[in-house]
């Protein structure tokens, strides 16, 4: 096994709102291998964003980490003071978000924003920062970079804005990049270009990436490993090739089947019958049991553990004894 660059250990995150207490992440553990892309996949509300925000201490004030550790370079990020974390955030662990338009400041030029990022962490002269900013823009495939530094976000298309966000995230050569649905807001052709760009840059820079997506087809294009989240829990975690060839968990099988039917242009089926548990609803057994064709009586009473089999982990009683 490759040395992990980041380790999430038994992470629990709970929201406290007027509507009640909602456990959003429940006992999540994984290791991000060095130089690899781990896709975190799951339906809306499964906890993908919340677990990522916990890594960088960016959770909203209504959320609380109620347990676990996040280890980076031997340190538990959850125990660091804000000043210490600020040195890691952006420089060592960078994050890009779904909506590139909303992440850029509309009243500053692209160049000003890139230079600001560079200046925030490094002591460099203005001309050096500008030169670096232009290099970064060309690196993410934006032509006429020098000229475009003086343009404003509204002069860039959605795909170009996302390229700028990637350039900003790469500006400080982070070890870890967390990309939360970086291509969801883009049309399919641009999405494919951005995915290719991310994969190329990841290889060139030897970065490790946590790639968050609700779309297994997107995960298939980029990931080395896939972790399937459901109701805040890991249901399955496996090397991508193996997971796509033979998914073990009935939930992953359902996700893959619905994908296959879309590809074959069969009339679009509902992804998987039924709905995930409502926020705040914690079932005594497996959270997927009510939607699972293989569920037995005990699946409703007891939550299965994560069964580990060589490099794969599966939370399903069907894996017991295998
Ligand atoms: N601001 C909030 N207030 C209360 N509960 C929240 C809030 N944000 C998230 N949650 C809870 O945390 C759960 C996980 O949310 P999260 O945003 O991580 O889902 P996600 O997997 O990223 O979904 P999506 O694909 O829609 O982005 C939600 O189901 C909800 O119960
Ligand atoms: Mg999300």
pLDDT given for residue 279 in this prediction: 83
Is 27 a domain residue?
yes
Which residue has the least CA distance to atom 6 on ligand 1?
A: 15
- Pick the ligand that lies closest to the CA of residue 44: 1
Is 159 a domain residue?
no
pLDDT given for residue 262 in this prediction: 54
Q: How far is it, in rounded angstroms, from Cα 269 to Cα 161?
A: 34
Q: How far is the CA of 43 from the centre of ligand 2 (A)?
A: 9
- Top mutation candidate among 234, 279, 287 for ligand 1, by most atoms within 8 Å of CB: 279
Is 204 a domain residue?
yes
Is 128 a domain residue?
no
CATH number at residue 291: 3.40.50.300
**What pTM value is reported for the model?**
0.93
Is 70 a domain residue?
yes
H-helix or E-strand spanning residue 173: none
Is 289 a domain residue?
yes
Give per-10-residue mean pLDDT for the chain (322 aa). Answer: 88 92 96 96 94 95 97 94 89 86 89 93 92 93 95 92 90 92 84 88 92 93 96 97 96 87 53 84 93 96 94 96 84
For the CA of 17, the nearest atom of ligand 1: 4
Domain that holds residue 276: 4-92+174-319
Q: How far is the CA of 289 from the centre of ligand 1 (A)?
A: 21
Q: How far is the CA of 49 from the centre of ligand 2 (A)?
A: 4
Q: How far is the CA of 26 from the centre of ligand 1 (A)?
A: 13
- Top mutation candidate among 8, 15, 61 for ligand 1, by most atoms within 8 Å of CB: 15
Helix, strand, coil % over all residues of the chain, rounded to 5: 40, 25, 35
Burial 23-50 (b: 16+ CB within 10 A, else e): bbbbbbbbbbbebbbbbbbbbebbbbbb
- CA dist 277 → 23, 143, 156, 159 (Å): 11, 47, 40, 34
Classified as helix, coil or strand, 225 is: strand
CA of residue 120 relative to chain centroid, distance: 25
Report how many domains make up the chain: 1
Q: How far is it, in rounded angstroms, from Cα 252 to Cα 318?
A: 13
Which residue has the least CA distance to atom 24 on ligand 1?
A: 44
Q: How far is the CA of 234 from the centre of ligand 1 (A)?
A: 15
């Amino acid at each position: 096994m490759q040395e992990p660059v980041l380790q999430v250990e038994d992470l629990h995150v709970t929201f406290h709102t007027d509507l009640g207490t909602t456990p959003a992440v429940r006992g999540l553990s994984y290791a991000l291998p060095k130089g690899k892309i781990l896709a975190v996949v799951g339906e809306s509300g499964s906890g993908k964003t919340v677990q990522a925000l916990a890594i960088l201490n960016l959770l909203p004030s209504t959320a609380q980490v109620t347990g676990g550790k996040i280890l980076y370079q031997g340190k538990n990020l959850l125990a660091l003071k804000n000043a210490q974390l600020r040195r890691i955030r952006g420089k060592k662990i960078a994050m890009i978000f779904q909506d590139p338009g909303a992440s850029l400041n509309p009243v500053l030029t692209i160049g000003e924003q890139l230079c600001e990022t560079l200046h925030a962490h490094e002591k460099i002269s203005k001309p050096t920062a500008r030169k670096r900013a232009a290099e970064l823009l060309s690196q993410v495939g934006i032509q006429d970079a020098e000229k475009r530094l003086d343009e404003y976000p509204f002069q860039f298309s959605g795909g170009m804005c996302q390229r700028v966000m990637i350039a900003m995230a790469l500006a400080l050569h982070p070890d870890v990049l967390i990309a939360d649905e970086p291509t969801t807001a883009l049309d399919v052709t641009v999405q494919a270009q951005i995915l290719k760009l991310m994969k190329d840059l990841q290889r060139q820079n030897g970065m490790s990436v946590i790639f968050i997506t609700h779309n297994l087809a997107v995960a298939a294009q980029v990931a080395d490993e896939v972790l399937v989240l459901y109701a805040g829990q890991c249901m399955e975690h496996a090397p991508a090739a193996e997971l796509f060839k033979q998914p073990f968990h009935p939930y992953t099988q359902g996700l893959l089947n619905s994908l296959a039917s879309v590809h074959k242009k069969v009339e679009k089926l509902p992804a998987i019958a039924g709905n995930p548990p409502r926020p705040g609803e914690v079932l005594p057994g497996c959270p997927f049991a009510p939607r699972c064709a293989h569920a037995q009586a005990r699946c409703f009473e007891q939550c299965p553990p994560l069964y580990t089999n060589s490099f794969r982990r599966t939370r399903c009683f069907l894996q017991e004894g295998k």
